[in-house]
Structure 1
Amino acid sequence: MEPIINIRRLFLNVVGGLSLILGVIGIVLPLLPTTPFVLLASACFMRSSPRFHQWMHSHKTFGPIISNWEQHRAVSRKVKRRGAVLIVLSFTFSIIVVPHFWLKVGLLIGLVVLITWFVRLPIHESVDHGQENH
C-alpha cells in the first residue's frame, strides 16, 4: 500500500504546485483568477505536504485568502468584486473570439453557471483588510 500513498502524495504535490504557479501568475495577469488556484493548492498541500501548506497559511498574500475560506467558506468583498469582473471580461473576450456559434453558446452557458455560483458566495471581511489578495 505504501507505493500508492507515495503516488497520491506526488500527484497532489504536482497539482498543488501547478495551482500555486497559476495563482501567482493570476496576480499579474488579469484574466487568470488567483483565489481558486490558491485554494486548490492549499487543499492539495494539506493532504500531501504539511510544510508547504503551513507556508501558504503564513504567506502575507495567500494566508488571508485561505484562512477566510477555511474558517468562513467566504471571500472578501474585494476578491468577489475583482473575480466577478474578471470572469465576465474573460468570458466576453472568449465569446467574441471563438468562431463557432455552438462554442459561443457553450461559453455563455458556462458564464451564467459560473457567475451565478460565484456571486452567491458569502462575503466575510478579514480584520486586516489590507492584506488580502494584492
Structure 2
Amino acid sequence: MCITLDPVTPPPPSRPVKPLWVALGVVLCGMGVVGLILPGFPGTVWFVLAAACFSRGDPRWEAWLLSRPVVGGLVRDYRTGQGMPLRAKWIACACIVAAVALSLGRIPVLVGQVGWVAAGLVGILYITLRVPTKRQGLPADR
C-alpha cells in the first residue's frame, strides 16, 4: 500500500504540538520587532516565519498578525508574491553595506573579512535579483 502526501501542504499538527507552534510564532514575532528597530537586522522574514507557525498552531494568532498595520501588509505582500517596494530594497541594500563596512574592521582574519563581504554581496544580489519589486498602485485614467 502506497501513501502519498501532498508535498505543498504539511499534515496538520497533532493537538499537543499546536501550542509549541504558537510559542515559536511569538518568539519569531519578537525577533521581527527587533528587526524593525535595528538597522541591518531583517524584520520581515521573522514575521513571515511567525505567520507560518501561527497558521499551524492557531489561525486566530495568524489573523492577529495579519491584521497589524505595518507587519500584516508585509506578510500578505510576501505571500502573494508582490515583493518589496523599490524604496525598501534601497534601504535594505544600504543597511547591508553599512553593516558590512562598520563591522569589517572588527574581523581580524583576511579570510573572515572576505567571507563577510561575500555574505553581504549575496544578500544584496538576492534582494536585487530574486525578490520581486512591488509595483505601487498606478493612477487610474487621467
Structure 1 length normalisation: TM-score?
Answer: 0.78
Q: Deviations over 1:24-65 (max 9, x none)?
A: 122222232211111121122122221111111111011110
The 1:93/1:18 distance shift into structure 2, 3 A limit, reads farther
Counterparts of 1:112-123 in structure 2, within 5 Å, are 112-120=121-129, 121-123=131-133
Aligned-residue identity in percent: 23
**What RMSD over aligned residues (CA atoms) do the two structures have, in Å?**
2.1
Alignment length, in residue pairs? 124
CA contact (8 A) 1:38 1:62 kept: yes
Higher helix share: 1
1:110 matched to 2:119? The reply is: yes
The one of 55, 66, 75 equivalent to 2:64 is 55
Larger RCO (CA under 8 A, 6+ residues apart): 1
What SS class does the counterpart of residue 97 from structure 1 fall into? coil
- Aligned: 1:90 with 2:109: no
TM value normalised by structure 2 = 0.74
Cα distance between partner residues in 2 of 1:32 and 1:7: 33
Q: Which runs of 5+ in 2 are unaligned?
A: 1-12, 138-142
- DSSP-derived class of the 2:134 partner: coil
1:1-134 matches, cutoff 5 A: 5=14, 8-120=17-129, 121-125=131-135, 127=137
Greater radius of gyration (CA): 2
Q: Structure 1 residue 7: deviation in Å?
A: 6.1
